[in-house]
Amino acid sequence: MLSPTILATTLLALLLPFTNAQYGAPDTPSSSTSPFPTSASSGSSSTHTIEVGNGGLTFSPDTLNVPVGDTIEFRFYPMNHSVVQSTFDSPCVPSGDSALFSGFFPVQSGMAGTSWTIKVTDTKAIWLYCSQGSHCQMGMAAVINPPSSGKTLSAYKQAAVNIGASANPASPQGGVIGPVKTQSSDASTRNEAMGKYVLVMAMVVAMFTL
């Protein structure tokens, strides 16, 4: 049987190294208690992809939540689609003089070699449609960062049915046209590796601390 005194002494002996580490005893490497960065990817941005017209008059996905600072790459499929920004209240027409517009991307088969990339600069909803023929009226629309309540993409599509004709700005604006980006860039691979490294180090530190 352990006496209460021995038990207390044993407990104290067990807890003492931990306590010393917490308060940075001189013989404890200070690096083992230094705080780790909570996220290896903070400060970097990532690219989201939306396929335009892949297998039908669709955006895939047609609803996307994108953090401010991230970019969206639009990839184009046959036959000839575009991406234009409108308001929720007026589907199928540009939202104004500075409405985002990709231009048209004619492609016979497969994916167009060039894509259109925009950067999300605030949290406001971005309503998008295709200005080719009656694609918008047939439901070719999408929304970035949809409002949490009220305005929905399905309501937008219902209203679009009654719009006489689509329109678009005179020339592409608000984005960057360039070669399609490779899916796994060096940067994202590095971020992934760094994330695993931080996780392993945190586990090692936890093993020695607890």
Which residues in this chain contact Cu ion in the complex, by CB under 5 A? 81, 130, 132, 135, 140
Q: Whole-number minimum distance, CB 115 to Cu ion, in Å? A: 15
Residue 135 vs 157, nearer CB to Cu ion: 135
The pair of three-digit structure tokens given for residue 162, joined into one six-digit string: 């009654």
The burial class, CB within 10 Å (0-12 / 13-18 / 19+), for 87 is middle
Between CA 84 and CA 125 the distance in angstroms is 14
Return the number of the residue (80 or 152) whose C-beta is nearest Cu ion. Answer: 80
Kindly state the smallest distance separating residue 80's Cβ from Cu ion, in Å.
7
C-beta closer to Cu ion: residue 40 or 115: 115
Q: What is the closest distance, in whole angstroms, from the C-beta atom of residue 121 to Cu ion in the complex?
A: 25
What pairs with residue 17 in β-bridges?
A: none
The residue (of 128 and 140) whose beta carbon lies closer to Cu ion is 140
The nearest distance, CB 138 to Cu ion, in angstroms, is 9
Least Å distance, CB 74 to Cu ion, is 11
Closest residue to Cu ion in the complex (CB): 130
Of 86 and 132, which has the nearer Cβ to Cu ion? 132
